Amino acid sequence: SSERITILIPGRIHPRVRARLTERFDLVEIDSADAVVALTEETRSGVRGAAVSGRFPASLIEALPHLQVIGSFGVGYDGVDVKAAAARGIVVTNTPDVLNDEVADTTIALLLNTLRQFPAAESYLRAGRWAAEGPFPLSPMSLKGRRIGIHGLGRIGLEIAERLVPFKVDISYHTRSPRSDVSFAYHDSLLGLARAVDTLISIVPATPQTKGSINAEVLEALGPDGVLINVGRGSTIDQPALIRALQDGTIAAAGLDVYADEPQVPDDLIALKNVSLLPHVASASVPTRNAMADLVANNLIAWFDSGKALTPVPETSASS
């Protein structure tokens, strides 16, 4: 229909989402979810859809009586209160699959950077130390011969595992239910996986069950040659326990893309030499972020054109 529909954008969004949505919808933009209080009742009542990157709390859902659909930017949608949305029959969409390759590629890079200290080696060259002091010190660790455990073998975890096969490392995994379509060794507990491997790669969503699941005991089980890579969510790791484990040699090193309280990264973590730290950039290339932006827009357009979202999250239903 030619009827104009109003879409709310609370907070920052990729510019391509805005550009795509403008063709089809009227947009209302506010600085953050909390700024909804500044909108008139008439404006709030007119909002039928939303596009968001980050937080969409129950309070915002409550403030929008005619909201039907929330298009969330990213595959992880822990910032959106899906329970509150589902209770109102509101559909939430995310952006699965289009970022799998990018995130898996980043994970391999972060793994190698952590083991071989390439970022420190490049800083050494840039600081003029190669010529002044001689070769950069040998990296104590290598990817060769590592036993790698993947925590989460979903869309992205599987791409990571498949990329690791040609590196000739041993690969095993833990999820709540084993996959029937892979031959990697399965462990029915995270602790069991950590005991069996020396390298743990975490790519699970932020949920009540995953919260703090990589704790002091799991790190201890990983052992003194242990390396932890986290590209999932910061909440999965007991971050103070990780910092202690890195300081006292309980594990050898960590490579992190995500943190407990982004964009805050503790000084104690930054001070460590045995970490490689990225600012949540696993999917952050122009082509991949454009594909994610298109999927946010295409979900909202499909919803209002056909009453069916393209990629609804499992907690909310797909059609009106």
Kindly list the catalytic residues.
Answer: 233, 262, 280
The helix/strand/coil state of 209 is: coil
Listed in order, strand segments (DSSP E) in 1-119 are 6-10, 26-30, 47-52, 69-72, 91-93
Q: How far is the CB of 278 from ligand NDP (least distance, A)?
A: 8
Rg of the chain over Cα atoms, rounded to whole angstroms, equals 22
Q: How far is the CB of 178 from ligand NDP (least distance, A)?
A: 8
Q: How far is the CB of 213 from ligand NDP (least distance, A)?
A: 7
Nearer to ligand NDP, 76 or 192 (CB): 76
Nearer to ligand NDP, 144 or 176 (CB): 176
Q: Interior CA angle at 218 toward 157 and 169, to 5°?
A: 45
Q: How far is the CB of 200 from ligand NDP (least distance, A)?
A: 12
Nearer to ligand NDP, 96 or 226 (CB): 96
Name, in order, each residue with C-beta under 8 angstroms of 49's C-beta and a sequence gap of 6 or more. 5, 6, 7, 8, 25, 67, 68, 69, 70, 71, 300, 303, 304
What token pair was written down for 162?
Answer: 């498949």
152 phi and psi angles, rounded to 5 deg: 105, 105
Place of tokens 């129950």: 58
Task: Indicate the residue whose CB is closest to ligand NDP.
Answer: 154
- Distance, C-alpha 195 to centroid of its chain: 25
Nearer to ligand NDP, 68 or 202 (CB): 202
Nearer to ligand NDP, 238 or 257 (CB): 257
Nearer to ligand NDP, 6 or 106 (CB): 106
Q: How far is the CB of 59 from ligand NDP (least distance, A)?
A: 23
Q: How far is the CB of 25 from ligand NDP (least distance, A)?
A: 26
- Closest listed residue to residue 253, CA positions, set 47, 61, 88, 111: 111
The helix/strand/coil state of 262 is: coil
* Residues that bind ligand NDP in the complex, under the rule CB under 6 A: 75-76, 96, 99, 103, 152-157, 174-177, 203-207, 209-210, 231-233, 257-258, 280, 282-283
d(CA 175, CA 154) in angstroms, rounded, equals 9
Q: Interior CA angle at 228 toward 106 and 154, to 5°?
A: 55
